[in-house]
Structure 1
């Protein structure tokens, strides 16, 4: 539709007037506008989050909770080297499990999800789980199911009445999603109750403690947004956003390395020239590994975990001569931008060099927006970038990645859920001789 109608056009998804934006200046301007800071008012958003949490809330609730989250996560070291040791502990465990496969085919997505969830656990609860803990495994199952079920239920965003048709697929999928959400909330609620308020000699040690302290301070404020339901949904948001997207991107990274072995070799050669055999790659090495970082960016450009984002319009907007009326929706086509030859020449070619300037340094064009843009851009961008770099670089430092025998994989094989992840694939890992 973009190729036919241009950078901005309108269409209807069911009863909802939707304005689709496909150009970088338009996206940047509209996402920075206060009148587009809300999420669209859609049935499933209300059913699952009830204007709570960090991802789908609006108005005063969203502003208050986002401000609190940004401040708390910053205090807890989000994106700083403070969290590096926690991430590297998980990297080391992943490397050991990879080594134990002895070259046998396996799918790494669950392992990545567990490792990244443990990083989020350290931020939210100040603790981590063992990978074989049955409660932790169930939590991972619920999040994986939630991603798929959310995709199945997308028709209900347009026609909610479909969920009422007896014995239909729509009703079955809706009831399964709500059971999943309820179990997730019960599970998280139990963890919070067991946790309570815990501090160290240095002060607050995790997100839950910070929230509970603020809740106690505001207990006599009738307008407080710090209630139990808000905390449960916020923790669910942090887990979901901080696990599925990054785990999916790491899978994409390995898949593209299989598809492009020449890029895999270049990444390994760059790392080998900088580090000794026994060293782990750390954030201190990142500035000297531009091709490695550029490769991750090229994966995100080609296969963004979240290819589009939506906003609700709270007042009339005149944009580029067009009226975007109050109550309509805006759809930002980030996938389209990432594959637009105006911004990325030869967009279908996998070429990490496009993110390296003539001086050999990383170049981040405005059109590159895997974490969205504007007032609602991803809270955990800095953490996700750190995780992607440390996991990807250390895996390629220690292993060669190839497709499992008789396993035909392709970047075009996608599972569409809340986030887009590769279709089921298996790879084989071979230790490198360093």
Structure 2
């Protein structure tokens, strides 16, 4: 009996030693290995290096020194930044769910209580995304009736523009049409542009976009995936994303046509040749309008509307030779992809030829990632592309877009306005019917 007990204790001792040795041999490899980065200051971290506006450009400058994957300290929070097409695409496409979470952002926790699809994580995000995709399908975003809704809104926008009689109008007015298309989908009817409810909705969206960087209250995350609160949060995401992004992109597209009149002229020549003065654009016309399609793609590349929406590691993850622990904020810097010198011939210039081959045919580019990539690619990108094409082509088919009196195209300032998205600056322009 004593020998038996001794044998049992011996086995337990060996198992304990084996486990201890395994722990000792594993711990160095499992310890976090962070990419290099600038030395942080007490309390501030590296915030002093980022500036107030266009932080994406400051991060790109840091990548020139520390490489395509580096660590910065936002206060005391270590954050990993990914810069350049190769490393960003590998992270977004090649990591699956390991890099599909979002870090907790206080204002979204306060507004949406961890729900929705844009800033939720884990099972709650997967449930919200499934709900949103099915909702958009049920609303007919892929059906021919959707084209009719967009063209109806285009006619209403033209009526509003005509009422100015060629006098200067605010650039923001052009965003009303994409907003109303989203409201039509979600609420079942469009609003008159002077409707107080419509004006109030636009004002609220504007306030949220400007204040998104403000601190908020951290809330507990409710457990129910398809409860009323999460459905409401998903609907709010559809309102915000479906209005702000498409509206701002259309405003940029028009503003850049005013800034580059020779590009505007080429688009209008192509529209006249393919469509003529009376035929409205249709989605199937895109193939016959390669230069117009190239211009729209170049607008999205050039402006980088959402330059650095953060991700968060859902588990310990090996990335680029480094080991990042669970919960690490990661910034896939889309600006660095859309301005990557190895992918674009003239990255800092507005150049539609980036999307045309030697014969003038439209060509896709792998580094064109304005809607992100991987599991969190924008669920509404198909609808956004259709809206942008129909509205942009319809506007340039009918109007000449000019700077306000007293300014030349060279005088126009392209620096974006401060907001969550890279909004165009507050600007006026003249919209004159073409003869």
Q: Do 1:334 and 1:369's aligned partners in 2 also have CA atoms closer than 8 Å? A: yes
Q: 1:254 to 1:361 in 2, by over 3 A?
A: same
Unaligned runs of 5+ in 2: 1-61
- Distance, in Å, in 2 between the alignment partners of 1:121 and 1:52 is 21
TM-score w.r.t. structure 2 length?
A: 0.80
- Distance, in Å, in 1 between the alignment partners of 2:263 and 2:399 is 14
Aligned length: 368
Q: Is 1:52 the equivalent of 2:103? A: no
Tell me what 1:17 maps to: 78
Q: Do 2:169 and 2:430's aligned partners in 1 also have CA atoms closer than 8 Å? A: yes
Tell me what 1:300 maps to: 300
- Distance, in Å, in 2 between the alignment partners of 1:31 and 1:129 is 38
Q: Is 1:428 the equivalent of 2:430? A: yes
* CA deviation profile, 1:354-391 (whole Å, cap 9, x unmatched): 10224543222121111111111111101111111111
Determine helix, strand or coil for the equivalent of 2:110. helix
Tell me what 2:153 maps to: 90
Q: 1:78 to 1:288 in 2, by over 3 A?
A: same
* CA deviation profile, 1:396-421 (whole Å, cap 9, x unmatched): 11111011013576453211212111
Tell me what 1:142 maps to: 204
Tell me what 2:162 maps to: 99
Q: Do 2:179 and 2:247's aligned partners in 1 also have CA atoms closer than 8 Å? A: no
Q: Do 1:256 and 1:411's aligned partners in 2 also have CA atoms closer than 8 Å? A: no
- Distance, in Å, in 2 between the alignment partners of 1:368 and 1:411 is 25
Determine helix, strand or coil for the equivalent of 1:12. strand
- Distance, in Å, in 2 between the alignment partners of 1:7 and 1:422 is 28
- Distance, in Å, in 1 between the alignment partners of 2:382 and 2:248 is 17
Q: Is 1:418 the equivalent of 2:420? A: yes
Q: CA deviation at 1:325?
A: 2.0
Correspondence list, 1:391-402, <5 A = 391-402=391-402
- Distance, in Å, in 2 between the alignment partners of 1:80 and 1:295 is 25
Tell me what 2:365 maps to: 365
- Distance, in Å, in 2 between the alignment partners of 1:410 and 1:5 is 35
Tell me what 1:326 maps to: 326
Higher Cα Rg, which structure: 2
Q: 1:334 to 1:223 in 2, by over 3 A?
A: closer
Tell me what 2:256 maps to: 256
Q: Do 1:245 and 1:419's aligned partners in 2 also have CA atoms closer than 8 Å? A: yes
- Distance, in Å, in 2 between the alignment partners of 1:354 and 1:37 is 30
Q: 1:127 to 1:346 in 2, by over 3 A?
A: same
Tell me what 2:277 maps to: 277
- Distance, in Å, in 2 between the alignment partners of 1:70 and 1:113 is 24
Tell me what 2:194 maps to: 132
- Distance, in Å, in 1 between the alignment partners of 2:163 and 2:206 is 24
Tell me what 2:243 maps to: 243
TM-score w.r.t. structure 1 length?
A: 0.80
Unaligned runs of 5+ in 1: 162-177, 179-221
Q: 1:82 to 1:362 in 2, by over 3 A?
A: farther
Q: Is 1:69 the equivalent of 2:71? A: no
- Give the superposed CA RMSD: 2.1
* CA deviation profile, 1:63-118 (whole Å, cap 9, x unmatched): 01211211231233324433100000011111121122111101131x33332222
Q: CA deviation at 1:223?
A: 6.8
Q: Do 2:140 and 2:146's aligned partners in 1 also have CA atoms closer than 8 Å? A: yes
Tell me what 2:37 maps to: none
Tell me what 1:188 maps to: none
- Distance, in Å, in 2 between the alignment partners of 1:53 and 1:223 is 13
Q: Do 1:105 and 1:428's aligned partners in 2 also have CA atoms closer than 8 Å? A: yes
